Amino acid sequence: MLTIPCRRRPLPLDRARVMGVLNVTPDSFSDGGRFTSVAEAVAAALALAGEGADIVDVGGESTRPGARPVPVADELARVVPVVAGLRRASDVLISVDTSEPAVMESAVAAGADLINDVRALRRPGALAAAARLQVPVVLMHMQGEPATMQQAPAYDDVVAEVLAFLADRIAACITAGLARASLIIDPGFGFGKRPADNLALLEGLHRFRALGVPLLAGLSRKSLIGHLTGAAIAERRGGSIALALAARAKGADILRVHDVADTVQALAVAAALGEN
Protein backbone atom coordinates (compact mmCIF):
# COMPACT_ATOMS: atom_id res chain seq x y z
CA MET A 1 0.00 0.00 0.00
CA LEU A 2 1.28 3.45 -0.90
CA THR A 3 1.19 6.37 1.52
CA ILE A 4 1.53 10.04 0.64
CA PRO A 5 4.16 11.42 3.04
CA CYS A 6 2.56 14.74 4.01
CA ARG A 7 4.45 16.27 6.93
CA ARG A 8 1.31 17.25 8.81
CA ARG A 9 0.02 13.66 8.64
CA PRO A 10 0.82 10.83 6.24
CA LEU A 11 -2.13 9.94 3.98
CA PRO A 12 -2.40 6.16 3.61
CA LEU A 13 -3.99 4.99 0.38
CA ASP A 14 -5.70 1.99 1.94
CA ARG A 15 -9.00 3.25 0.53
CA ALA A 16 -10.11 5.74 -2.08
CA ARG A 17 -9.26 9.29 -1.07
CA VAL A 18 -11.14 12.40 -2.11
CA MET A 19 -9.73 15.79 -3.02
CA GLY A 20 -12.43 18.47 -2.85
CA VAL A 21 -12.24 21.38 -5.27
CA LEU A 22 -12.18 24.94 -3.95
CA ASN A 23 -11.91 27.45 -6.75
CA VAL A 24 -11.06 30.96 -5.69
CA THR A 25 -11.11 32.39 -9.19
CA PRO A 26 -13.56 35.00 -10.41
CA ASP A 27 -14.16 33.02 -13.63
CA SER A 28 -13.74 29.33 -12.87
CA PHE A 29 -15.11 26.51 -15.02
CA SER A 30 -17.97 25.13 -12.95
CA ASP A 31 -18.45 27.17 -9.81
CA GLY A 32 -16.65 30.41 -10.51
CA GLY A 33 -17.26 33.67 -8.80
CA ARG A 34 -19.03 32.18 -5.81
CA PHE A 35 -16.82 33.64 -3.12
CA THR A 36 -16.70 37.32 -2.40
CA SER A 37 -14.61 37.07 0.73
CA VAL A 38 -11.88 34.97 2.26
CA ALA A 39 -14.27 34.01 5.05
CA GLU A 40 -16.78 32.60 2.56
CA ALA A 41 -14.11 30.60 0.78
CA VAL A 42 -12.81 29.21 4.08
CA ALA A 43 -16.36 28.28 5.09
CA ALA A 44 -16.83 26.43 1.81
CA ALA A 45 -13.53 24.60 2.34
CA LEU A 46 -14.60 23.59 5.85
CA ALA A 47 -17.84 22.27 4.39
CA LEU A 48 -15.85 20.10 1.95
CA ALA A 49 -13.77 18.76 4.83
CA GLY A 50 -16.93 18.07 6.82
CA GLU A 51 -18.32 16.10 3.87
CA GLY A 52 -15.28 13.84 4.02
CA ALA A 53 -12.69 15.40 1.75
CA ASP A 54 -9.20 14.15 2.67
CA ILE A 55 -7.59 17.06 0.83
CA VAL A 56 -8.97 20.49 -0.10
CA ASP A 57 -7.50 21.79 -3.38
CA VAL A 58 -7.29 25.59 -3.39
CA GLY A 59 -6.86 27.12 -6.85
CA GLY A 60 -6.62 30.71 -8.02
CA GLU A 61 -5.78 30.22 -11.69
CA SER A 62 -8.64 29.18 -13.93
CA THR A 63 -7.50 26.39 -16.22
CA ARG A 64 -10.80 25.90 -18.01
CA PRO A 65 -10.49 25.70 -21.81
CA GLY A 66 -9.86 29.16 -23.22
CA ALA A 67 -8.87 30.69 -19.88
CA ARG A 68 -6.26 33.46 -19.99
CA PRO A 69 -3.13 33.43 -17.83
CA VAL A 70 -3.50 35.10 -14.42
CA PRO A 71 -0.89 37.59 -13.13
CA VAL A 72 1.12 36.08 -10.26
CA ALA A 73 0.13 38.92 -7.93
CA ASP A 74 -3.56 38.13 -8.48
CA GLU A 75 -3.02 34.43 -7.93
CA LEU A 76 -1.12 35.10 -4.71
CA ALA A 77 -3.79 37.50 -3.46
CA ARG A 78 -6.56 34.96 -4.13
CA VAL A 79 -4.89 31.82 -2.82
CA VAL A 80 -2.65 32.67 0.13
CA PRO A 81 -5.24 34.26 2.44
CA VAL A 82 -7.60 31.33 1.89
CA VAL A 83 -4.88 28.76 2.61
CA ALA A 84 -3.86 30.67 5.74
CA GLY A 85 -7.47 31.05 6.91
CA LEU A 86 -8.28 27.41 6.27
CA ARG A 87 -5.13 26.32 8.06
CA ARG A 88 -6.09 28.34 11.14
CA ALA A 89 -9.56 26.77 11.14
CA SER A 90 -8.79 23.12 10.33
CA ASP A 91 -6.08 20.51 10.05
CA VAL A 92 -7.48 19.11 6.79
CA LEU A 93 -4.78 18.49 4.19
CA ILE A 94 -4.53 21.42 1.78
CA SER A 95 -3.19 21.27 -1.75
CA VAL A 96 -2.40 24.39 -3.72
CA ASP A 97 -3.43 24.22 -7.37
CA THR A 98 -0.72 26.28 -9.03
CA SER A 99 2.10 26.19 -11.58
CA GLU A 100 3.79 29.28 -10.23
CA PRO A 101 6.87 28.90 -7.99
CA ALA A 102 6.09 32.02 -5.94
CA VAL A 103 2.60 30.75 -5.21
CA MET A 104 3.97 27.32 -4.23
CA GLU A 105 6.37 28.94 -1.76
CA SER A 106 3.85 31.32 -0.19
CA ALA A 107 1.05 28.76 -0.01
CA VAL A 108 3.27 26.17 1.68
CA ALA A 109 4.49 28.86 4.10
CA ALA A 110 0.82 29.61 4.84
CA GLY A 111 0.11 25.95 5.60
CA ALA A 112 -0.45 24.06 2.34
CA ASP A 113 0.62 20.40 2.46
CA LEU A 114 0.82 19.47 -1.23
CA ILE A 115 1.30 21.08 -4.62
CA ASN A 116 -1.13 20.25 -7.45
CA ASP A 117 0.44 21.39 -10.72
CA VAL A 118 -1.48 20.95 -13.99
CA ARG A 119 1.82 21.74 -15.78
CA ALA A 120 3.79 19.09 -13.87
CA LEU A 121 6.48 21.54 -12.67
CA ARG A 122 7.43 22.62 -16.21
CA ARG A 123 7.28 26.36 -15.53
CA PRO A 124 10.73 27.95 -14.99
CA GLY A 125 11.67 27.67 -11.31
CA ALA A 126 8.86 25.27 -10.40
CA LEU A 127 11.00 22.12 -10.10
CA ALA A 128 13.52 23.92 -7.91
CA ALA A 129 10.79 25.42 -5.73
CA ALA A 130 9.13 22.04 -5.19
CA ALA A 131 12.49 20.46 -4.39
CA ARG A 132 13.20 23.18 -1.80
CA LEU A 133 9.77 22.78 -0.23
CA GLN A 134 9.91 18.96 -0.11
CA VAL A 135 6.14 18.51 -0.18
CA PRO A 136 4.22 15.91 -2.19
CA VAL A 137 3.38 17.02 -5.74
CA VAL A 138 0.66 16.05 -8.20
CA LEU A 139 2.16 15.91 -11.71
CA MET A 140 -0.59 16.30 -14.31
CA HIS A 141 -0.41 15.83 -18.08
CA MET A 142 -1.68 18.63 -20.31
CA GLN A 143 -1.20 18.98 -24.07
CA GLY A 144 -0.73 22.70 -24.79
CA GLU A 145 -1.92 25.50 -22.55
CA PRO A 146 -5.44 26.25 -21.27
CA ALA A 147 -5.95 29.15 -23.69
CA THR A 148 -5.59 26.85 -26.73
CA MET A 149 -5.51 23.24 -25.53
CA GLN A 150 -8.92 22.24 -26.90
CA GLN A 151 -8.36 23.75 -30.36
CA ALA A 152 -6.74 20.70 -31.98
CA PRO A 153 -5.59 18.07 -29.50
CA ALA A 154 -4.05 15.05 -31.26
CA TYR A 155 -2.38 11.80 -30.25
CA ASP A 156 -1.27 8.63 -32.04
CA ASP A 157 -1.61 6.57 -28.84
CA VAL A 158 -2.90 8.74 -26.03
CA VAL A 159 -2.21 6.27 -23.20
CA ALA A 160 1.36 5.58 -24.32
CA GLU A 161 2.10 9.28 -24.85
CA VAL A 162 0.69 10.41 -21.50
CA LEU A 163 2.50 7.54 -19.75
CA ALA A 164 5.79 8.52 -21.39
CA PHE A 165 5.28 12.17 -20.42
CA LEU A 166 4.59 11.31 -16.78
CA ALA A 167 7.53 8.89 -16.60
CA ASP A 168 9.72 11.69 -17.95
CA ARG A 169 8.40 14.18 -15.37
CA ILE A 170 8.96 11.67 -12.54
CA ALA A 171 12.57 11.31 -13.72
CA ALA A 172 13.00 15.10 -13.88
CA CYS A 173 11.62 15.47 -10.35
CA ILE A 174 13.97 12.84 -8.95
CA THR A 175 16.93 14.48 -10.68
CA ALA A 176 15.90 17.79 -9.10
CA GLY A 177 15.90 16.21 -5.64
CA LEU A 178 12.27 15.30 -5.01
CA ALA A 179 11.61 11.93 -3.40
CA ARG A 180 9.89 9.42 -5.67
CA ALA A 181 7.55 8.60 -2.76
CA SER A 182 6.23 12.17 -2.77
CA LEU A 183 5.09 12.13 -6.42
CA ILE A 184 1.49 11.58 -7.55
CA ILE A 185 0.53 11.27 -11.23
CA ASP A 186 -2.58 12.34 -13.11
CA PRO A 187 -3.40 11.84 -16.82
CA GLY A 188 -5.19 15.20 -16.92
CA PHE A 189 -8.66 14.39 -18.19
CA GLY A 190 -9.94 17.21 -20.41
CA PHE A 191 -6.60 19.00 -20.71
CA GLY A 192 -5.91 18.93 -24.45
CA LYS A 193 -7.98 15.79 -25.01
CA ARG A 194 -10.86 14.88 -27.30
CA PRO A 195 -13.75 12.81 -25.93
CA ALA A 196 -12.23 9.64 -27.43
CA ASP A 197 -8.87 10.47 -25.79
CA ASN A 198 -10.54 10.84 -22.38
CA LEU A 199 -12.35 7.52 -22.83
CA ALA A 200 -9.12 5.79 -23.90
CA LEU A 201 -7.33 7.17 -20.84
CA LEU A 202 -10.08 5.94 -18.55
CA GLU A 203 -10.10 2.53 -20.21
CA GLY A 204 -6.29 2.32 -19.91
CA LEU A 205 -6.03 3.97 -16.49
CA HIS A 206 -4.80 0.75 -14.83
CA ARG A 207 -1.67 0.98 -17.00
CA PHE A 208 -0.57 4.07 -15.05
CA ARG A 209 -0.17 1.86 -11.98
CA ALA A 210 3.00 0.55 -13.59
CA LEU A 211 4.79 3.81 -12.73
CA GLY A 212 4.58 2.77 -9.07
CA VAL A 213 3.32 6.06 -7.66
CA PRO A 214 -0.16 7.11 -6.49
CA LEU A 215 -2.68 7.95 -9.20
CA LEU A 216 -5.12 10.87 -9.11
CA ALA A 217 -8.05 11.36 -11.50
CA GLY A 218 -10.14 14.48 -12.04
CA LEU A 219 -13.29 13.88 -14.05
CA SER A 220 -15.82 15.84 -12.01
CA ARG A 221 -18.23 17.95 -14.13
CA LYS A 222 -15.93 17.74 -17.16
CA SER A 223 -17.02 18.13 -20.75
CA LEU A 224 -16.78 14.38 -21.36
CA ILE A 225 -20.03 14.11 -19.40
CA GLY A 226 -21.58 16.82 -21.54
CA HIS A 227 -20.40 14.99 -24.65
CA LEU A 228 -21.84 11.67 -23.49
CA THR A 229 -25.16 12.98 -22.13
CA GLY A 230 -25.75 16.56 -23.21
CA ALA A 231 -25.89 17.64 -19.56
CA ALA A 232 -24.95 21.23 -18.70
CA ILE A 233 -22.15 21.81 -16.18
CA ALA A 234 -24.48 22.30 -13.22
CA GLU A 235 -26.27 19.01 -14.05
CA ARG A 236 -23.33 16.62 -14.19
CA ARG A 237 -23.38 15.16 -10.69
CA GLY A 238 -24.56 11.67 -11.68
CA GLY A 239 -22.06 11.43 -14.51
CA SER A 240 -19.30 12.69 -12.22
CA ILE A 241 -20.04 9.98 -9.65
CA ALA A 242 -20.15 7.30 -12.34
CA LEU A 243 -16.75 8.43 -13.63
CA ALA A 244 -15.26 8.58 -10.12
CA LEU A 245 -16.34 4.97 -9.50
CA ALA A 246 -15.03 3.88 -12.90
CA ALA A 247 -11.67 5.57 -12.25
CA ARG A 248 -11.49 3.96 -8.82
CA ALA A 249 -12.21 0.53 -10.32
CA LYS A 250 -9.33 1.17 -12.75
CA GLY A 251 -6.91 1.94 -9.93
CA ALA A 252 -7.19 5.63 -9.10
CA ASP A 253 -6.13 6.35 -5.49
CA ILE A 254 -7.45 9.91 -5.26
CA LEU A 255 -10.50 11.41 -6.95
CA ARG A 256 -10.63 15.17 -7.43
CA VAL A 257 -14.29 16.17 -7.19
CA HIS A 258 -16.70 19.02 -6.60
CA ASP A 259 -19.50 16.97 -5.01
CA VAL A 260 -17.63 15.52 -2.07
CA ALA A 261 -20.44 14.05 0.08
CA ASP A 262 -22.05 12.13 -2.78
CA THR A 263 -18.73 10.85 -4.07
CA VAL A 264 -17.59 9.72 -0.61
CA GLN A 265 -20.86 7.85 -0.18
CA ALA A 266 -20.67 6.21 -3.62
CA LEU A 267 -17.05 5.14 -3.03
CA ALA A 268 -17.93 3.68 0.39
CA VAL A 269 -20.77 1.62 -1.09
CA ALA A 270 -18.59 0.42 -3.98
CA ALA A 271 -15.86 -0.56 -1.49
CA ALA A 272 -18.36 -2.54 0.61
CA LEU A 273 -19.46 -4.35 -2.53
CA GLY A 274 -15.85 -5.34 -3.08
CA GLU A 275 -15.73 -3.41 -6.32
CA ASN A 276 -12.61 -1.53 -5.39
Q: Which residues bind ligand 8Y7 (CB under 6 A)?
A: 21, 29, 59, 63, 97, 116, 118, 138, 140, 186, 188-189, 216, 218, 221-222, 256
User: What is the C-alpha separation between 55 and 78, in angstroms, rounded?
Assistant: 19
- Which residue, 95 or 106, is less far from ligand 8Y7 as judged by CB? 95
Task: Show which residues are catalytic.
Answer: 222, 256
User: What is the C-alpha separation between 199 and 204, in angstroms, rounded?
Assistant: 8
Beta carbon of residue 273, minimum distance to ligand 8Y7 (angstroms, whole number): 26
Beta carbon of residue 59, minimum distance to ligand 8Y7 (angstroms, whole number): 5
- Which residue, 186 or 253, is less far from ligand 8Y7 as judged by CB? 186
Beta carbon of residue 222, minimum distance to ligand 8Y7 (angstroms, whole number): 5
- Which residue, 215 or 264, is less far from ligand 8Y7 as judged by CB? 215
- Which residue, 230 or 274, is less far from ligand 8Y7 as judged by CB? 230
Beta carbon of residue 139, minimum distance to ligand 8Y7 (angstroms, whole number): 8
Beta carbon of residue 147, minimum distance to ligand 8Y7 (angstroms, whole number): 14
- Which residue, 68 or 274, is less far from ligand 8Y7 as judged by CB? 68
